[in-house]
Structure 1
Amino acid sequence: MNRTRWPVMLFDLDGTVANTIPLILASYARATMSVLGTPVSEAESRLWIGETLAHTFNTRFPEHSEKLVAAYLSWNVANMDQLVQRYENLEELIIYLKREGVVLGVVTSKRRSSAEQTLAAVGLTALLPLVGCMEDTAQHKPSPDPLLRAVELLGRRPDECVYVGDTPFDLQAAKAACMAAIGVTWGAGSREELDAEGGTAIVGTIDELRRELLSPTAS
C-alpha cells in the first residue's frame, strides 16, 4: 500500500529544513553595515530570503554587489555552526519518509559549499541528498528551472513531486514546474504571504506537514 501522497519530495533548505533565518538576517545586517555603513532592516531583508545573493545585491546595490556578497559569505560561513538550529521532529519525519521509499532531495538557491555546510550543521547530510544549488542553473527561484533540473537528474516527472518551502518564491517555482507545493510558516514567509500563492497546502507545524505528505489511509 502506498502510504505517501507523492513518490518524490523535494525541500527548500533555508527556513524549511534548517533554521537559518537568524543567521541570514544577521549576515545581511553585517554585510550592509560593513559595506554601506548602514545595516538593512530585518523587515526588508526577510523579504530577500529565497533569492540568490547575487540577484539580491545586483538588483538593489549594483555598484557594491561584489563586496556585499563577499562580506555576507564571510560572516555567514564563520558563524553558521553557532547560529544554525534544527527544527524539532523534522529529522524523524525525514527518516520515516526515507523508510517508506520516498525519493528525497533538497533544492536551494544557496551555493553548494554553503548548502553542504548547512545540512551538516543540522545532521541531515546522509538523509537528504543535495540535488539543486545556485551553480546548477542560470535561472533561479521563482523560475522553475532549479526544480525541473532536479526532477531530470532524479529521472522522475514533475507530477510525481511535491516541493516544500517557506517563501512565496518556493511556491511560485513549484507551481511553474507543475509540481504540488506546500508552504511552511516556521521560516521566512508569513501565512498570509504563502496563502496568497495558493499552494497545495500551508502548514504551521511538523505534524501538519507529516499529515499532508502522507496518504489519508496512512495518516
Structure 2
Amino acid sequence: MVHAVWGLPKLPSGVALTTFLFDLDGTLIDSIELILRSYRHTMRTHRGDEPADDIWMAGLGTPLWVQFRRFTDDPAEIDAMVATYRAYNLAHHDELVRPYDGIVEAVRALRERGRPLGLVTSKMRSGAIRGLVRASLEDAFDVVVGADEVTHPKPHPEPVRLALERLHRPATGAVFIGDSRHDIECGRAAGVKTAAALWGPFDRSHLEDLAPDYWLERPADLSLLAVDD
C-alpha cells in the first residue's frame, strides 16, 4: 500500500508550507481510551448511566464545558462534571496515553528542518503540556495554545490565529494538522491549509465533506508537506 499525501494544492509562487500547527489528542497522542473512560466515569457519577460513546466522540476537539453542555445547561453542574472528568483523567493519564507510532520522529524531523511548530488544543494548557511530556515532545513546540488562553475555542479560528501571532508567522504557508472536524473547520476559518491525520480515531469518510487540503495516512507523510518550494 502506498502511503501518500492526497490532493496537493498549489501555493502561490515562491511559497512553501513552512509553519506547522498540530492538534494534540488523536493527532500526536493516542488518548482516546483515556478520554472515553473519563467520560463514562463522569456520566456514571453524575447521571447514573453511560450514554453512547458516539455522543462524546462527535464533540471531540472541543473543550469539556462545551461537551458537557450537551447534557445540562446548569453552569454549576457543568463545572462539577468538568472537575470529575479532570480528576479521573489526571489519575489515569500516564497509564493510558502514548504517542502514535512514528509521530515523535516526524515532529522532530520538522523541527530539525527549522520549521516553526505550534500546538493548538482544546485542552487546558497544563493538560496539554502533560500530554507533550508523556510523548517526549515537551521541547518540540515553539508555542502552545490551550483552551484556557482563548475566548472562542475550536472550531472558531481564534486558537490558530493566536498561535500564528505568537509565532510571528502569516497564515500563508501555514498548515494545521488534526484528526477531527473541529480541527479542519478551525484551520479553514483561520485561512491556513488543513491536513487530516488519518491515524487518529476518525477515518476519511468522517471528514470527506470538509475537503481538507491534505490527507495524511501516517505520520511519516508529514515530510512530504515540508518540501521546499
TM-score, length-normalised on structure 1? 0.92
Q: More displaced, 173-182 or 128-137?
A: 128-137
Q: More displaced, 24-33 or 56-65?
A: 56-65
Q: Distance in 1 between matches of 2:161 and 2:186?
A: 9
User: Which residue in 1 is equivalent to 2:72?
Assistant: 61
Q: Which amino acid aligns with 2:206?
A: E
User: Which residue in 1 is equivalent to 2:217?
Assistant: 204
Does the 8 Å contact 1:195/1:202 carry over to 2? no
User: Which residue in 2 is equivalent to 1:22?
Assistant: 33
- Once the two structures are superposed, residues 181-207 of structure 1 have per-residue CA deviations (whole angstroms, 9 ceiling, x without a partner) of 001122232311212111111222123
Q: More displaced, 10-19 or 198-207?
A: 198-207
User: Which residue in 1 is equivalent to 2:165?
Assistant: 152
Q: Distance in 1 between matches of 2:143 and 2:38?
A: 23
Select 2:194's aligned residue among 177, 181, 201.
181
Query: After TM superposition, what 4+ stretches of structure 1 lie above 3 angstroms from structure 2?
Result: none
Shift of 1:152: 0.7
Structure with higher RCO (Cα < 8 A, 6+ apart) = 2
Does the 8 Å contact 1:98/1:104 carry over to 2? yes
Q: Distance in 2 between matches of 1:75 and 1:130?
A: 27
Q: Taking every aligned residue pair, what percent have the same amino acid on both sides?
A: 29
Q: Which structure 2 residues correspond to residues 60-209 of structure 1 after superposition, within 5 A?
A: 60-63=71-74, 64-209=77-222
Do residues 48 (structure 1) and 48 (structure 2) align? no
Shift of 1:215: 2.3
Does the 8 Å contact 2:16/2:173 carry over to 1? no
Structure 2 unaligned runs (5+)? 1-14
Does the 8 Å contact 2:143/2:163 carry over to 1? no
Structure 1 unaligned runs (5+)? none
Name the SS for the 1:14 alignment partner: coil
Q: Distance in 2 between matches of 1:102 and 1:130?
A: 12
Does the 8 Å contact 1:106/1:131 carry over to 2? yes
Does the 8 Å contact 2:116/2:142 carry over to 1? no
Does the 8 Å contact 1:28/1:40 carry over to 2? no
Q: Distance in 2 between matches of 1:18 and 1:130?
A: 17
Shift of 1:216: 7.9
- Structure 1 vs Structure 2 CA RMSD: 1.6
Q: Distance in 2 between matches of 1:19 and 1:203?
A: 16
Name the SS for the 2:68 alignment partner: helix
- Once the two structures are superposed, residues 54-113 of structure 1 have per-residue CA deviations (whole angstroms, 9 ceiling, x without a partner) of 111124322331121011000001100000011111111111111111001101010011
Q: Which amino acid aligns with 1:18?
A: I
Q: Which amino acid aligns with 2:104?
A: E
Does the 8 Å contact 2:195/2:214 carry over to 1? yes
TM-score, length-normalised on structure 2? 0.88
Shift of 1:130: 4.0
Q: Distance in 1 between matches of 2:112 and 2:92?
A: 33
Q: More displaced, 165-174 or 41-50?
A: 41-50
Q: Which amino acid aligns with 1:214?
A: A
